[in-house]
Every structure is written in structure tokens, then in C-alpha cells.
Chain A
């Protein structure tokens, strides 16, 4: 009788475990493939953004000469008319383009005079290590609300910075000779108006020697 009960209990337990397995065996190869499929690839995303979405939006910039003139007249009006900001930030960004004459070549920046007749450094193209979110947030093309995990969104910033450092800056450094004319497209982040506007610190996206 006791033996029969034991057998019945064993059969029931086996049945429950078969219907609701306590664990699944997955091969390492399958698990790695599944994980890769669900993991956000920031480098791949940045590459697509850089080669497809961004080139189609380069005409949405404000011209540097127009912006500099507006800033000269009234910083607040220039901000209202041409900038964008994210979230509750008091800082803001400009997506800017223009042409300028190289007036200085320093270790981490190339200074340009942009307005007619100027010999002052009005725009500073950043050519050192690129950190932060200036490129990601400056164009207005990418939005934090589209990313469930903010780590993915932040990884995009690092991936875009890497593209600039490896593709844009080497060419720019080769072009930068005092007196040369350089056209550029890039983004500016303004955290501190007393330090970030004169000159405009621009992280370059595209440059050409003219």
C-alpha cells in the first residue's frame, strides 16, 4: 500500500515536472546568439545614424555668421530663435554650419574667423578628445524617450564621439593651416554663456577645405 502511494506520488511529480519544467537546457551557442539579438548595438546604430539620418539633416543648421550676429545683439534672443535644449536643462545646443578662415591652430582646437573682415577667433573647432553628449543631443535628431534603457542612449553618445575622433578629426587636422578657408557643420553645447559663446566651441561633424 505504502509502495503504491510512493509510485503514484512519483508519477504525479514526474508529470508536473514534465508539464512545468524547473529549468531549460540551452546551449551556450544559442544563448549567446539570443543575447546578441536583444542587446542594443550602439556602434551599429551610430554608424547608420552617421551615414543615413545625419547627412539628410545637415541643411537644418543655423549659419554661423547669422548666429554670431544674433548672439552679439542679444544672447537670450539668439537662444530663443536658434537653440534646442533637453529636459529641464538650462544649458542648450546649437546645430551650426559655416565657413571661416583659420586664424590659429592649437593642440586641441582650430580657431576660425567667420564674419567678414574679422581676424578674431569666433569659432573654435574641437580637435582633441571628444567627450559627452554634444553631438548626440545637438542635432535634435535623437530623443531620450525613444530608448527604454538610458545606458543605450548614452552608449550612442560615446559611439558618435568615436566616429568624429577617427574619421573627422584626422582629416581636419590635415586641412588646418593658418589662412586656409574651412567650411564646417557641427554642434555646440552652451553650459556657461560667459565661457562657451566667445568663441563658439564646435564639435565638428563635417569639414571641407575650400
Chain B
């Protein structure tokens, strides 16, 4: 039998090419779909928990997940959205930087066919995001306001540290608190300043408030980072036992401070619950579900010294 070496070599090359093609196709089919987790800032432990939990749940559900840190900068956030749209991500779990400024980014993703699920912070739109899971900050701060009056009393001076002024949570918290406290004319707010949701800024603002208003009896802080900063300023001023501090978030260090009697109360927001649910929503969307409620309130529970043993690790034990 005469062997045609040329034909045999050609057949071998074809077989190898076919094998290589099959391998590539199989590898592509096995490649995981990607979910982006875009967080307003990773410079705050509460948001780190939010982002890391969302990422972990997305991975558990079988996706590749990446966290993008917007550093409280809408320009950086916009760049993240450009990148994730170009990068073939299938869904975005999104903690917006600005209720109005972030809408355009969500709309871009929507136009590219990518669903966006807002977590904790909202955007002022009902037709851009697929769903928005939002802590019921207002109701939580109504309850904190009632506790504030009960603890501080119906008379006296107090101060308020606001969060970022462009964020709806800042005002929902402030309005919920004031819907109660303003009904008591004897309670006088002598200072209301932004601590930008930041511990160092909260410390700095509280120091200046104490210089101008040494007789305050309480301080309501729009988040726990500022509450910790305010408490530090009070310790330095020797007023930690006199001025009652109230926070909001349910951060671990504040929950521990409540147990130690340093801070009076906080509103537990359940970041893990929201983050996990958002990843599950994204998974459901990718698998075909489309009927999501647009705004989904997540309840806030008040943590005090009396019930603090039930809480920890950013949720209920």
C-alpha cells in the first residue's frame, strides 16, 4: 500500500484545527457571566460590607463579580459604567453616588441592555433602574426621633450632623427625625452641619459645634461614621457623659459602643440583606424574570442598650 504523506499531513492538520476549535468553543461556553458591583465609596466599613456581600452572593450564584469604587465621585462612577458596558457585564448592583447625578449612568446601562439594581441609595427616577432596594430611612429616623425626645427630654439645645447633601438618604433621615423633634418647641436645634457621612469630618464639625454651643444635650448624626467622630470629639471635650449621641446604619463599632453605653442608639439598615437580595434579583433577571417592583423599602430597626444583644455583624444575630 502506497501512503500519500502529503494527504495524511493535511488531514492531521485539519483534525488538530477542528479539535482546537471545539476546545475554544467549549471554553467560551463555560466562561462565567459577569456582574458588576458599583459602590459609592469603599472608604466606609458599612459600604465595604455592602459591596463585598453583593459580590460574594453573585459568586455563590455562579457569576464572576467585580467591585468598582466610585470614591463618592460621579465622574469616576460614569467612567465605571463606560467600562462595564464595554466589558460585557450582564448586570449591575449599584450603590449610587448622587440621586440625580447617577441617573444618566443607569440610563446608559439600560440602553445597552444591562439591568441595574440600586442598593441602599436611590436615584430620582422610576424608569431607569430595574429595581431599587432602599432602606426605609425616614421611618427609621421617626423612631429615632421619638427615642431622642424620650432620652434627651422635651427641652434643651441639640445639634444635627447631616450626610452628603446630594443624597436622598441624608434628607429622608433628617426629615424623619425632624417630623418628631420639631413638634416639641422646647427642643432647639442650634447647629445643623454636613459631616459628609465621614468620621474625620464628623469629628471636625462636632469640635466646632461644641466651641460655639457648649450646652447641647444631644446630637443626631445621619450615619454611624459621623456618630463615632462626634463621640470622639465629645470625649476630647470631656462631654461624652453629658451629650447623647444617636447614629444611623448599624455599623459594628457603633453597635459595640451602644453595648458599652457610649452611644445611645442607631438604626440598623441590614446591608447584607439588601446586598444579597440585589444579587439574587440580578440572577433572576438574567434567567428571564422581568416583573420587579421599582422601589422596595427595607425596614430599619432601632438598636438600643436594651436590645443590642440581638444585633451584630451588620444585622440581626
Do A and B make up one complex?
Answer: yes
Complex: A203 Cα to B273 Cα, angstroms: 30
A145:B126 contact, CB within 8 angstroms: yes
- Knowing A150-B138, A154-B175, the reply to whether A88 touches B146 (Cβ < 8 A) is no
Residues of A within 8 A of B295 (CB): 87, 144-145, 147, 150
B125:A131 contact, CB within 8 angstroms: no
Complex partner residue of A131 from B99, B133, B136, B145, CB under 8 angstroms:
B145
What does DSSP make chain A's interface, helix, strand, loop or mixed?
A: loop
**Closest CB-CB distance, B263 to chain A, in whole Å?**
22
Residues of A within 8 A of B125 (CB): 148
Residues of B within 8 A of A155 (CB): 175
**Closest CB-CB distance, A156 to chain B, in whole Å?**
11
Binds A, one of B176-184, B202-210, B213-221, B236-244: B176-184
Complex: A129 Cα to B146 Cα, angstroms: 11
B139:A158 contact, CB within 8 angstroms: no
**Closest CB-CB distance, B292 to chain A, in whole Å?**
10
Query: Contact residue range for chain B?
Result: 20 to 34
A88:B179 contact, CB within 8 angstroms: no
Asked if A30 is at the interface (CB within 8 A of a chain B CB), the reply is no
A150:B175 contact, CB within 8 angstroms: no
**Closest CB-CB distance, B218 to chain A, in whole Å?**
18
Asked if A197 is at the interface (CB within 8 A of a chain B CB), the reply is no
Residues of A within 8 A of B296 (CB): 87-88, 144
Per-residue 0/1 for A143-170: is the Cβ within 8 Å of any B Cβ (1 yes, 0 no)? 0111111110011011001000000000
Query: Contact residue range for chain A?
Result: 20 to 34
Which residues of B in the span 162-196 have a Cβ within 8 Å of any Cβ on A?
Answer: 168, 171-172, 175-176, 179-180, 183
Complex partner residue of B138 from A145, A147, A154, A161, CB under 8 angstroms:
A154
Residues of A within 8 A of B107 (CB): none
Residues of A within 8 A of B172 (CB): 150-151, 154
Complex partner residue of B146 from A89, A131, A146, A150, CB under 8 angstroms:
A131
Residues of B within 8 A of A87 (CB): 133, 136, 293, 295-299
Asked if A86 is at the interface (CB within 8 A of a chain B CB), the reply is yes
**Closest CB-CB distance, A98 to chain B, in whole Å?**
26
B residues lining the A interface (CB < 8 Å): 99, 122, 124-126, 133-134, 136, 138-139, 142-143, 145-146, 168, 171-172, 175-176, 179-180, 183, 273, 277, 293-299
**Could you pull out 30 A-B pairs where Cβ atoms are within 8 angstroms?**
A87-B133, A87-B136, A87-B298, A88-B296, A88-B297, A88-B298, A89-B136, A89-B297, A89-B298, A91-B299, A129-B183, A131-B145, A131-B180, A132-B139, A133-B136, A133-B138, A133-B139, A133-B142, A144-B294, A144-B297, A145-B126, A145-B293, A145-B295, A146-B126, A147-B295, A148-B126, A149-B168, A150-B138, A151-B175, A158-B175
> Besides A149-B122, A161-B179, 19 other CB < 8 A contacts?
A87-B136, A88-B298, A89-B136, A89-B297, A89-B299, A91-B299, A131-B142, A131-B145, A131-B179, A132-B139, A133-B138, A133-B142, A144-B297, A145-B295, A148-B124, A149-B124, A150-B168, A155-B175, A158-B175
